[in-house]
Structure 1
Amino acid sequence: MSVIRLALAQQPAPDDPSGRLSLLRQWCEAAAADGAHLLLLPEMWSTGYAPERMNAAHAWGDDEAILAEISQLADGLGLAIGFTYLARRDGALRNRLRLYGADGSVALQYDKVHICDFTDGTETALQGGEGFVCADVELGGETVRIGAMICFDREFPESGRSLMRQGAELALVPNACPMREDAELGDVRLQQLRGRALENRFAVALCNYPAPQYDGASCLIDARGHLLAVAGEQAQLLSADLDLTALRRWRAEQDEVWGPDAQRPSCYR
């Protein structure tokens, strides 16, 4: 049996940016000591997803010193680290996820495609990415095909389907919104995400902000849509194991029924 351990840092971003790296180091060290192979942070952790910080003054270029420091942290602990930040690219601002591998190299980089048009204009100044990407990432001696959706992306079936077509086994979802907000329907967004995992036969790891900013519910969902682990509302470091052997066996079995041969892309217009 081949198992990878994920750590979901359901933690608030510090108000003082100078304390950001020390907190990240603390969580990474705790995750590594617990045997984790990958740690994921909530959406736009560089700014805490605060509207007043969604501007060029808080954006990071590729030469930002903290990026090199996080790379060194990943390499030193042998821990993959996935985090989103406000990125600066050719004069434009983007909502970017960067995943450093356990050797400190950039294993995956993705810019959020679906930009939210909130009433406060939080994201309207951002430029959307060009498409969804996957990469083969070494985790605990296993090569795992990983893709990403950032928050609002998961609302669109096309996001998950694009990753599925690229062979994704695990989708990372940095998040910044309520996951249990609907008093009548309950945790409808969690149920939606379980469906997204099932229909695309990949696992999903979501990391959200705790209360009072949002309502937690960071979770790991397997490729059958089963909820393997879910956090409450409070800040915590949630660890969860994903059985890759079982995931791959089930995917192979289901491909015979609803795999590529069963699909009719010419009708999906």
Structure 2
Amino acid sequence: MAGSEVTIGLIQAHHDVDGREPVAVHKQAAIEKHVCLIREAAAVGAKIVCLQELFYGPYFCTEQDPKWYEAAEPVPDGPTIRRMQELAKELQVVLVVPVYEEEMPGVYYNTAAVIDGDGRYLGKYRKHHIPQVQAGPAGCGFWEKYYFKPGNGGYPVFDTQYAKIGVYICYDRHFPEGARLLGLHGAELVLNPSATVAGLSEYLWKLEQPAHAVANGYYVGAINRVGWEAPWNMGEFYGQSYLVNPRGEFVALGSRDQDEVVLGVMDRRQIAEVRNTWQFYRDRRPETYTDMVGLLP
């Protein structure tokens, strides 16, 4: 296990390829771009690096087109995760890699693979909460139910070389229950790779996840892509990726519109200090919460 301080790298980027291009063109361009950004993050000291949601393409869920099923691949046995394992081992960084997972033909998940700093695949998180929301111009939206089954792997925490990390993907952040479970499972850092646009959720962007950090006594890294994506132009992906500490303070904050490695330092000592001050885990009353499970809509 590393020392008390760990540098976190959050990568936000614009997807440069028009959505009308073949899937293979998207994947090649995005992977090469992100490999360069991962190397940049490692060069400036990042030990845990997280990419944005569905990093190797556009946010294709803005339309409903079976073309995008071609983007899915097995996890961990697909080519993207294998390449990221080699890169993690070379750079000695932990990588959180959000991809489109094919479990079997016709069964797909929105997934993030977690790779340790020695290249070992530690496991994956599958997005639990799947939106189906109108947004932007007519016909555009977050049509994720067309592409993904809800996650079925629970809320795992991964004991990496540098910290115990959990993953929560995009829309999951609106649901405090899973955020609490990640804390109960031992997370010191929760990473939330996202794809979210101005005009819909921006007013929540800097509210919900600092609140999760405070309520659960851990760090949260929130990642959002940047720019507009053709041909849909559903809305501006407004970046502003950030790392927030257990006091709800912003440790690092990215720009609105630039490809960027957002760097921040997580201090494990602060987790202990905050939890010893605010004894939320001690004072929980789970026996009074039974109505949350199965009894209410």
Task: Give the TM-score taking structure 1 as reference length.
Answer: 0.89
Query: Retained in 2: the 8 A contact 1:206–1:219?
Result: yes
SS in structure 2 opposite 1:206?
Answer: strand
Judging changes above 3 Å, is the alpha-carbon distance between structure 1 residues 247 and 121 closer, same or farther for their aligned structure 2 residues? closer
Aligned positions, number: 259
* Matched residue, 2:220: 204
Give the drift of 1:253. Answer: 3.7
Judging changes above 3 Å, is the alpha-carbon distance between structure 1 residues 169 and 129 closer, same or farther for their aligned structure 2 residues? same
* Matched residue, 1:69: 83
Query: Retained in 2: the 8 A contact 1:83–1:174?
Result: no
* Matched residue, 2:180: 161
Inter-partner Cα distance in structure 2 for 1:163 and 1:149? 9
* Matched residue, 1:124: 145
Query: Is 2:72 the counterpart of 1:59?
Result: yes
How much identity, in percent, do the aligned residues show? 24
Judging changes above 3 Å, is the alpha-carbon distance between structure 1 residues 108 and 245 closer, same or farther for their aligned structure 2 residues? farther
Query: Which 4+ stretches in 1 moved above 6 angstroms?
Result: none
SS in structure 1 opposite 2:160?
Answer: strand
* Matched residue, 1:239: 263
| One-letter amino acid matched to 1:133 | P
| One-letter amino acid matched to 2:151 | G
| One-letter amino acid matched to 1:127 | K
Judging changes above 3 Å, is the alpha-carbon distance between structure 1 residues 223 and 121 closer, same or farther for their aligned structure 2 residues? closer
Inter-partner Cα distance in structure 2 for 1:187 and 1:215? 11
| RMSD, matched Cα | 2.0
* Matched residue, 1:3: 5
Segments of structure 2 that go 5 or more residues without pairing to the other structure are 18-24, 135-140, 229-235, 292-297
**1:161-180 equivalences in 2 (<5 Å):** 161-178=180-197
Give the drift of 1:57. Answer: 1.2
Deviations 1:168-193 (A, max 9, x none): 11101001103x647xx974331121
Segments of structure 1 that go 5 or more residues without pairing to the other structure are none
Judging changes above 3 Å, is the alpha-carbon distance between structure 1 residues 5 and 100 closer, same or farther for their aligned structure 2 residues? same
| One-letter amino acid matched to 1:103 | D
| One-letter amino acid matched to 1:46 | Y
**1:77-156 equivalences in 2 (<5 Å):** 77-91=91-105, 92-119=107-134, 120=141, 122-125=143-146, 126-130=148-152, 131-139=154-162, 144-156=163-175
Inter-partner Cα distance in structure 1 for 2:123 and 2:191? 11
Query: Retained in 2: the 8 A contact 1:13–1:20?
Result: yes
Query: Is 2:205 the counterpart of 1:189?
Result: yes
**1:9-28 equivalences in 2 (<5 Å):** 9-15=11-17, 16=25, 17-28=27-38
Judging changes above 3 Å, is the alpha-carbon distance between structure 1 residues 83 and 27 closer, same or farther for their aligned structure 2 residues? same
Deviations 1:187-241 (A, max 9, x none): 4331121111111111100110112341011000101111111112122111111
